[in-house]
Amino acid sequence: MSGAHGERVLVAMSGGVDSSVAAATLRDEGHDVAGVTLRLWGGESDSGCCSVSDVEDARRVAAQLGIPHHVFNLADDFEAAVVGPYVESYAAGETPNPCVECNRAIKFGRLLERAVALGFDAVATGHHARVEAGPEGRFRLLRGADAAKDQSYVLAVLGRHELARTRLPVGRMTKAEVRSRAAALGLRTAAKPESMDVCFVERGRRVEFLAGRAPGSVAPGPVVDRAGRRVGRHGGVARFTVGQRRGVGVAAGERRYVVDVDAATATVTIGDHDDLLCDSVALRSLTFVDTPPPPGARIAVQSRAHGAAAPGRLVGDRVHFDQPQVRVAPGQLVAFYDGDEVIGSGTATRA
């Protein structure tokens, strides 16, 4: 959905090709467009959308497009809503989704609030997903046109209030079309590689980052098998996630996987692949795009950004799978779909 003609739209420009083309598309559709780049992290970083070069790329693209460009410093909000919970989640033996929390609290939280206060009608981003208006003022969140680049999963925490003021222009394009459009416009970001890392942690230095903020998460502890027998020792629960195979550090004749991480006792439990399978997953922090589905409603369940959705049912705060699935790491988002439409989401728990 691109919104009504002539809207005032504030485009979150990360310095990447998708948000660049989002701004260009809205401008060409006749909207009053301004770009904004968020300064979220002042610490060491070599990836993501927080570097000085990314801000400069966004500024220069805005200049090419002839639109105003602003920089908002939301570092304090980012620390409180994203970085702090990220550290706490690892310290609790979970595997967090910082990009999901950034979307929830920052891009479609604080930024949207500021945009409305400044007189903008909507906020736009370069996410590959679609928003469509429905009857009676309702809005639907749908998968992007490019299935390989679909990002509806990381937006599954949004509700109708946010979607009413959200514009996702590239969601109806393939990635190839986005790059072609950027090249035709001569935008400096046309061939820029995608960023896939956590923007506030240097590549390969997650454990070091956590050691400085949550020392307990990198304290040594036992590795045990499913029977509780000690089979090794690890260098901190923050090094592990449920489903992990590499780096377990236990010599065995067959593959072993992490099947549980207990931060309270600093214990990592390993097992074989069958030990990873489960029939259901317990959830917390359930949210729905619109009204919740009826108890026992059939849904498709996606627990990874680009994973396949599995059929199941939602009953209260638990998803029941039709067939056993690989266990979802606690802290990970679980998104609910009806075909291409996002229904809602919850966060997997250790229960």
Which homologous superfamily is 219-271 in? Adenine nucleotide alpha hydrolases-like domains (2.30.30.280)
3 pLDDT band, cuts 50/70/90, is low
Distances (CA, A) of 342 to 4, 130, 151, 282: 23, 10, 11, 19
Is the Cα dihedral 346, 196, 176, 20 positive or negative?
positive
pTM: 0.92
Helices marked H in 135-267: 160-163, 175-185, 206-213
Higher pLDDT, 82 or 54: 82
Hey, which residues are catalytic here? 102, 199
Average pLDDT over residues 39-66: 80
Res. 44: pLDDT tops 70: no
Domains 219-271 and 276-348 share a fold: no
Res. 216: pLDDT tops 60: yes
**124-169 per-position pLDDT tens digit:** 999 999 999 988 888 999 999 999 999 999 999 999 999 999 999 9
Task: Specify the pLDDT at position 5.
Answer: 64
Task: Specify the pLDDT at position 247.
Answer: 76
Query: How many whole angstroms separate alpha carbon 82 and alpha carbon 97?
Result: 9
**96-117 per-position pLDDT tens digit:** 999 999 999 999 999 999 999 9
**316-344 per-position pLDDT tens digit:** 999 999 999 999 999 999 999 999 999 99
Average pLDDT over residues 243-250: 82
**253-302 per-position pLDDT tens digit:** 678 999 999 999 999 999 999 999 999 999 999 999 999 999 999 999 99
* CATH number listed for the domain at residues 276-348: 2.40.30.10
What is the percent of the chain with per-residue pLDDT over 70, rounded to a whole number? Answer: 95
Res. 202: pLDDT tops 90: no
Residues 6+ apart with CB under 8 A from 147: none
| Domain ranges for the chain | 8-185, 219-271, 276-348
Task: Specify the pLDDT at position 50.
Answer: 58
Mean pLDDT of the chain: 92
Strands annotated E in the chain: 8-12, 32-39, 69-73, 122-124, 129-133, 139-143, 166-167, 221-224, 230-234, 257-262, 267-271, 277-288, 297-302, 310-315, 318-326, 333-338, 341-348
* CATH number listed for the domain at residues 8-185: 3.40.50.620
What is the percent of the chain with per-residue pLDDT over 90, rounded to a whole number? Answer: 83
250 pLDDT band, cuts 50/70/90, is confident
Query: How many whole angstroms separate alpha carbon 318 and alpha carbon 314?
Result: 6
Task: Specify the pLDDT at position 10.
Answer: 98
